[in-house]
Structure 1
Amino acid sequence: MTFAFPSLLWIGLPLLAGVVAIHLLNLRRQKPIKWAAMDFLLESERVNKAWINLRQWLLLAARLLVIALAVFALAKPALKKFTLSALADSRVRHVVVLDDSYSMSDEGAGTAAWGDAVAAVDRVVGFAAERPGHEVSLIRSSAVGDPELVAGDDDQGKTRLRTLLSASRPSQLAAPLTPAIQAAHELCEGAPTGARTIAYLVTDGRRREIEPLSETVAAVESLQQSGAEVRWVSCVASHNPNLTLTDLSPLPGPGAAGVEVRMQVTVANNGSAPTTDALVQITRDGSASPAVEIGRIEPGKQATRQFSVLFREPGPHRVTARLEADAISADNARYSVLPLVTERKVLLVDGSPKGRESAPYAAALRPNAKLNTGWAPERVSPRELSPAADFDKYMAVFLLDLETLPDGVAESLWDYVRRGGGLFIAAGENADPNYYNAQLLNSRPQGAANRALPLRLERQVRPPRAEGGDMRGSDHPLFNVFSGDRDSFLGLVSINYLQSVSPFDENLATRVLARHSSGAPLVIEHSAGEGRCVVMLTTVGQKPRRDESWSNLSTLPVFPVLALELAAYLGEPAIAPHGLTVGAAWKDAVREGASAPVRISRLERGSAAPIADAPAGELASLPHPGEAGFYKVELLGADPASDRWFAVNVDPAEGDLRLAAPNELKDALARIGVPVETAVALSASAGDDGPSPLPPLLAMVALGLLLGEQVLGVSASYHQTPSGRAAR
């Protein structure tokens, strides 16, 4: 127990001696009374003497308690469940788990999460620094494997730790709390024999970090079982509104210089109220572009808007999106790198007579030499291919109504797909089912158990005609061309012939994108490795007699758009922007086993500043990117053309500042005996549990005793009755 005004005890408690003196003097006060029946009075006093003495002692005790309680109430006593000062003479290991994920940078209305957390930790370190028997271990959630440990007699270490705390800032990681708690468990188990261990979990307690709550509570309970007293220190009391940029990426396209690049930006509203005035500022290679107006976003929802950028020169180009300042700054910026080229090549392998099938695709991809669409179609016949062909220089390969391929080419094509290439197969009248089923669709890489594409061609069929068109599309991006104002063109599609296939199971790797009106599969997608394959069971080339053509797709006004979307979709994996999340390993972005040393540089003020080097083949030694921004990876001594730029972004999920339901966390921790206190309380009052209820309680008890003293005083004949006679 402690007192807010302990000096009052030294002043008030001596007054109790005065109460005793006054009481004794009153007992000596006598008043002579003449009474005839004196013998009867003396006998009555002898019989009731014990009761009279008891009333006198009770009266004295009541008066003493009234004075004592009044003094104690004025001194404002307080009971503390936990105080640092109570540990002054103990041997203690303090293990501090500090949540430094970027949600801790919350500076919304009335919130200073990081400042409160650092102040609380600094108090623990400062207290331990004054006592030789105390040790401090600091575990940051962003660096679980690198705890700061300061021994009891290491005064310089404690000073250094406090200096680091004062200069530290939250990381840009979405660092989970559970691994840090598990690391604290190991430190607590390794505490010196006989030492008291206290673990402080200093966090903002966001819902995404502690849910599922049962796992978090289990980790805390395990920490208790290591012998530690656990304190949950909360740094945030309310959910502040926050907007987060969750995506900035290019839409599928050629990615060529001189051609507009369509991009999309997505903003999430992590607040509890709608937002109506979100505005995203766009910069291209450091130069401002028109802002993108997002409009209204409901709570917990996202809004996506599209915009265009244009770069005249090939090479890597940088696009940055920024929101206005709000509770969290780390998630207000998003970065994207566009590796543009002069043009993207598409290989059209045509097996039809006179190039009938490739002509419509070539015309759609590049109508004339003067019009820069970013595409460069190249038309060849099947016999011009060889297994040694360099397919990687093509963004996509179209196999159009061919009968067969030279030996080994099918295997080379599927290897190309698995490396991220795009393959389109149009099976028409020239398709040989035996070759397709045995080679093209059944190609197996060495050691693989499954065939390339789980399809088997059966035969050519003439499906029945249907009103409203012969094709039924889906919500796949390829068929956006038939949505909106162009929806009427779907009813104009005519399919005269198609290749039927044996029944197959659809799954995540193989699915039907479009069907004939009869229900037969018409367009099928298959994922293989990092690439994509799309199979169309009809063709688009036109014969002199229209009813002899397999379809009329190439005659529709939307066909050029469909062909462009198809090429872009197939090539998307190969030209996807190079991106990483803060904290990811560089080995995920750089070719493992590179034959040259690697240098990582970060773009700062318009120039690349080197931050780390790694010897050849030792990518694991490179530090993970700790901040969002633009980074360059270069192979030292290699052709500068091999340098690659990467956009590193924060994990947008950390921008969700929702807290657990009121009292949900507190009740769950209370069931295992772990108190929840605020960082402000720990830093300012060393663990007081709020205003003490003792002073008002003592005052009420003193008032009750005072009333009891009056009753006893009357019964003990120290007060006069209304008639003027002493009470008996």
Structure 2
Amino acid sequence: MIMIVFDVVVLAEIWPFSSSLMLWWAAAAVVPLVMHLWNRQRYQSTDWAATRFLHAALTKQSHLDRLRRWLLLATRIFILVLFASALANPRFAPVSLSDPVSANLTNTHTVLVLDDSYSMATNVSQEPLFSRAKQAARDLVGAAMQGEAFTLIAMANNRGPVIRNPSFDTARITRELDRLSIAHGAATLMTVLDSVDEVISAARQRFPRLTSTRVCFYTDLGFNTWSVIARDNVRDRLQRIGQNAELFVIDVGSSAGGNLAVTGIQQRQRLVTTQTVVEFVAEVHNFSQQDQDERPLKIWIDGQVVANKKVRIAANETAMVKFQHRFRTAGEHQLRFELSPDRLLIDNECWRCVPVRDSIDVLCIGGKSGAAGSVALAIEPRSTDPVISVELAAEYDLLERTLDEFDVVFLCNVGRIGSDEAAVLGRFVEAGGGLAVFLGDQVQPDSYNAWAGTEDVGRCLPGELGEVVAPTDLSTGFLLDPMRYQHPIAETFRAVPGSGLFQIPTYRYVRLIIPKSNGTEVVFRFSDSGDPALIEQEFGQGRCLVFASAASMQSVDRNHPQRIPWTILPTAGDFVSLIQEMLMRLTGGRTVGRNLHVGALLVGEFEPTNHIPNCQLFRPDGLRQVVKGKWSTEHPERFRWNFSRTQQAGIYRVEPVAEPSKAQLFAVNLDVQTGESDLRRVERSLLPQFFRYGVHQPSVNSVGLTETPEREYGWHLLVAVLLALLFESWLAGRAGGSGLRFA
């Protein structure tokens, strides 16, 4: 009886039943056994003459009869156990050989490919899809048999496979799976297939006994990653891989849903001071087919909420959210826009680093007395409490001044530029400085052209200088054409169509010759001739603007008897606005590298204290890392450092080891243009036929695929009970009628 009870308990553990308690009726199987033992005690043996002959006749059949009787007893016990099992209604999910991933394969190399792009951070039933993928992969590893090898690839990891060589240590594979986290970037399918091909080939060469290979993709089938599977080159690559391995897709995603994302933050003023009000514009995109009304948006500055806004966004549209703020203190500041939570939290916030200065420092160099006076006055017309610090200097001071102390340099009618001056100006612009060049009657074009095309000294002139152009009719001159106000500088004057800037003539200018495809933008042209009047080009982190005419009325045509001035633009009221817009355009070059996307390189310079060229970097997750610097070749008194592992979005803080007060902030944001915030999915029908497909759900088997529907087998067992009863009746008749006699 003890054995029967034990068997019932074990059976309930290894085979699922709808009503496991009904199995206790199987204890009735002890009844035939008890009756058997009881009947053995009722009979007494009496030896008398007649039975001796009968016993001798039946001796030959006794062994067969005994076997029949025990078989009948076992049949009756089996009928009772089978009937109890039928009452419990057993359930069983049959395993098919066509299941997408079959576990427990020996001599098998399994390539685990986990999609760790940031769309996998989408929450479904309060669980990230990435957690589902890792759990499904862990289950597959846990079901492995001895001799099975694994390699591991993270799809958004641009540094290659996580485990490159086949590993037979399942504990190590599990640890690496546990360490994996969401990458704040996108996955490129072709790059992933390169890695898959690489690890398969390496495994075949290193372990020839691994004769079977399977590649398991755990992914959400995001549209931005998997839509390329329709291309012929991708399908051909998959088919070549499929010749050496079985390909499986385990879908851990869910139906596509809406999502909102803060895609970026822009600011008009590149260089911010404590005296100015700066305007920020956040872009919020709606990745869904439904309009979103009154979505809360928080604005944080330096860890404090400073504003709350409501955002309305039409379906598949972008809303612009404007915010103005004045920073009262100079130094490093951080700005963050944060949306209310939705399914995908990772793209609900966006950061911007805002270095703030007390003032803007400008150096104006004139080729002759008064050449830069009009520009200096236009830059800072206030004599008391100036926001911008302006210094006037002569042409010969260019090499004697440290240009790194200034944000912008204006050259006004400077006669010639030598190689030394060109090298100094080139390094200044490359490092993020702004350079504005006004021409005039003292300019020697050949001198400028010598350094315009010389890259070894730091070229920073957008074009070459040609001949001086004069109008045929001196009464009209040349007027500026804003070219439909396409450039940001011209855009400022769109609201003033009758601006005097475009009504006042210019009588002399130098023809600017722009090389083809060199990235030069034309801001203004001269309306009559069509020649460029103001051009712009970026060099390194800085910019250069060149105006074809003069900045003052002191530049005159000496060959003309009336000594006609080159231009009378300084008399226009909007000349001040033009100079201010040029200044705004040229400032802030040194802060360009402070706001980047995930994966970008952080670069900076410090003046070391105590000759320690090292700095410490604090990542968004709070971890600290020491970054070693190298002495800068351009600035021997500084050291340059760089950091490339910006795989996490957020604020990075970098400070010199010896002087933490000189810290710099860097904002690293998601590149939403990759499409990861768009939660659309590819259709299963788009997958090639040689891909074997499975769906992961919360109730899954050990390999991470949907279980086949469970079947109930209670009625099958009842049929077996009926057949067993018929067999028992036939056997009882063969054993000697309705009763049994026990010896």
Name the amino acid aligned to 1:624: R
Structure 2 SS opposite 1:456: strand
1:286-365, aligned counterparts within 5 Å?
A: 286-299=303-316, 301-353=317-369, 355=370, 357-365=371-379
Given the alignment, which residue of 196, 219, 233 partners 2:250?
Answer: 233
Counterparts in 2 of 1:444 and 1:507: CA distance versus 1, 3 Å = closer
Is contact 1:471-1:490 (8 Å) kept? no
Deviation at 1:184, TM superposition (A): 2.8
Q: Distance in 1 between matches of 2:281 and 2:132?
A: 38
Is contact 1:150-1:157 (8 Å) kept? no
Given the alignment, which residue of 424, 434, 458 partners 2:467?
Answer: 458
Name the amino acid aligned to 1:483: R
1:25-104, aligned counterparts within 5 Å?
A: 79-82=96-99, 84=101, 86-88=102-104, 90-104=106-120
Q: Distance in 2 between matches of 1:498 and 1:538?
A: 7
Q: Distance in 1 between matches of 2:168 and 2:137?
A: 19
Name the amino acid aligned to 1:180: V
Q: Distance in 2 between matches of 1:342 and 1:260?
A: 13
Q: Report whether the alignment pairs 1:495 with 2:515.
A: no
Q: Distance in 2 between matches of 1:320 and 1:75?
A: 54
Given the alignment, which residue of 242, 247, 253 partners 1:224?
Answer: 242
Residues 437-466 of structure 1: CA deviation (Å, up to 9, x unaligned): 333664554747989443223114136677
1:573-722, aligned counterparts within 5 Å?
A: 573-576=589-592, 578-586=594-602, 588=603, 596-602=613-619, 611-617=624-630, 624-637=645-658, 639-640=659-660, 642-652=662-672, 653-659=674-680, 661-663=682-684, 665-666=686-687, 669-670=688-689, 673-680=690-697, 683-684=700-701
Structure 2 SS opposite 1:117: helix
Most deviating of 531-540 and 657-666 = 657-666
* Aligned counterpart, 2:520: 510
Deviation at 1:404, TM superposition (A): 3.4
1:430-579, aligned counterparts within 5 Å?
A: 430-432=441-443, 435-439=444-448, 442-443=451-452, 445=454, 447=456, 452-462=461-471, 470-473=480-483, 474-484=485-495, 486-489=496-499, 492-501=502-511, 504-518=514-528, 519-542=530-553, 548-576=564-592, 578-579=594-595
Name the amino acid aligned to 2:257: N
Q: Distance in 2 between matches of 1:568 and 1:282?
A: 25
Q: Report whether the alignment pairs 1:119 with 2:135.
A: yes
Q: Distance in 2 between matches of 1:82 and 1:138?
A: 22
Is contact 1:602-1:632 (8 Å) kept? yes
Gapped regions of structure 2 (runs ≥ 5): 1-14, 19-90, 557-561, 632-639, 713-743
Q: Distance in 2 between matches of 1:148 and 1:664?
A: 31
Name the amino acid aligned to 2:653: K
* Aligned counterpart, 2:62: none
Is contact 2:109-2:166 (8 Å) kept? no
Is contact 1:202-1:679 (8 Å) kept? no
Q: Distance in 2 between matches of 1:390 and 1:179?
A: 47
Residues 348-371 of structure 1: CA deviation (Å, up to 9, x unaligned): 112354x2x433332332222434
Deviation at 1:650, TM superposition (A): 2.2
Q: Distance in 2 between matches of 1:77 and 1:125?
A: 22
Q: Distance in 2 between matches of 1:589 and 1:91?
A: 52
Deviation at 1:502, TM superposition (A): 6.2
Q: Distance in 2 between matches of 1:93 and 1:658?
A: 32
* Aligned counterpart, 2:390: 377
* Aligned counterpart, 1:145: 160
Structure 2 SS opposite 1:416: helix
Counterparts in 2 of 1:76 and 1:424: CA distance versus 1, 3 Å = closer
Most deviating of 506-515 and 332-341 = 506-515
Q: Report whether the alignment pairs 1:272 with 2:289.
A: yes
Given the alignment, which residue of 163, 166, 186 partners 1:174?
Answer: 186
Q: Distance in 2 between matches of 1:554 and 1:114?
A: 63
Structure 2 SS opposite 1:331: coil
* Aligned counterpart, 1:193: 208
Q: Distance in 2 between matches of 1:436 and 1:292?
A: 55
* Structure-1-length-normalised TM-score: 0.72
Q: Distance in 2 between matches of 1:376 and 1:597?
A: 33
Residues 320-348 of structure 1: CA deviation (Å, up to 9, x unaligned): 11111112111111112212222121111
Counterparts in 2 of 1:682 and 1:203: CA distance versus 1, 3 Å = farther
Structure 2 SS opposite 1:116: helix
Given the alignment, which residue of 406, 409, 418 partners 1:394?
Answer: 406
Most deviating of 323-332 and 188-197 = 188-197
Q: Distance in 2 between matches of 1:512 and 1:640?
A: 43
Q: Distance in 1 between matches of 2:128 and 2:620?
A: 30
* Aligned counterpart, 2:64: none
* Aligned counterpart, 2:63: none
Counterparts in 2 of 1:422 and 1:141: CA distance versus 1, 3 Å = same
Deviation at 1:691, TM superposition (A): 6.5
Is contact 2:701-2:707 (8 Å) kept? no
Residues 13-34 of structure 1: CA deviation (Å, up to 9, x unaligned): xxxxxxxxxxxxxxxxxxxxxx
Residues 632-682 of structure 1: CA deviation (Å, up to 9, x unaligned): 222323x4464322112222235432435534532xx22xx1123223399
Structure 1 SS opposite 2:242: helix
Is contact 1:442-1:453 (8 Å) kept? no
Q: Distance in 2 between matches of 1:645 and 1:5?
A: 60
Counterparts in 2 of 1:198 and 1:179: CA distance versus 1, 3 Å = same
Name the amino acid aligned to 1:665: L
Q: Distance in 1 between matches of 2:136 and 2:499?
A: 67
Deviation at 1:528, TM superposition (A): 3.1
Q: Distance in 1 between matches of 2:396 and 2:629?
A: 42
Is contact 2:217-2:248 (8 Å) kept? yes
Residues 46-79 of structure 1: CA deviation (Å, up to 9, x unaligned): xxxxxxxxxxxxxxxxxxxxxxxxxxxx999785
Deviation at 1:230, TM superposition (A): 0.9
Is contact 1:96-1:121 (8 Å) kept? yes
Counterparts in 2 of 1:83 and 1:494: CA distance versus 1, 3 Å = closer
* Aligned counterpart, 1:703: none
Is contact 1:273-1:298 (8 Å) kept? yes
Deviation at 1:478, TM superposition (A): 0.8
Deviation at 1:516, TM superposition (A): 1.4
Is contact 2:154-2:162 (8 Å) kept? yes
Counterparts in 2 of 1:402 and 1:632: CA distance versus 1, 3 Å = same
Aligned CA RMSD, in angstroms, stands at 4.1
Structure 2 SS opposite 1:534: strand
Counterparts in 2 of 1:188 and 1:82: CA distance versus 1, 3 Å = farther
* Aligned counterpart, 1:706: none
Name the amino acid aligned to 1:210: W
Counterparts in 2 of 1:636 and 1:450: CA distance versus 1, 3 Å = closer
Is contact 1:320-1:333 (8 Å) kept? yes
Count of equivalent residues:
600
Gapped regions of structure 1 (runs ≥ 5): 8-73, 696-728
Structure 2 SS opposite 1:413: helix
Structure 2 SS opposite 1:339: strand
Is contact 1:150-1:158 (8 Å) kept? no
* Aligned counterpart, 1:367: 381
Deviation at 1:688, TM superposition (A): 6.9
Structure 1 SS opposite 2:396: helix
Structure 2 SS opposite 1:539: coil
Q: Report whether the alignment pairs 1:412 with 2:424.
A: yes
* Aligned counterpart, 2:741: none
Q: Distance in 2 between matches of 1:117 and 1:449?
A: 52
Q: Distance in 2 between matches of 1:187 and 1:158?
A: 15
* Aligned counterpart, 2:221: 205
Q: Distance in 2 between matches of 1:583 and 1:460?
A: 49
Q: Report whether the alignment pairs 1:132 with 2:142.
A: no
Deviation at 1:308, TM superposition (A): 1.9
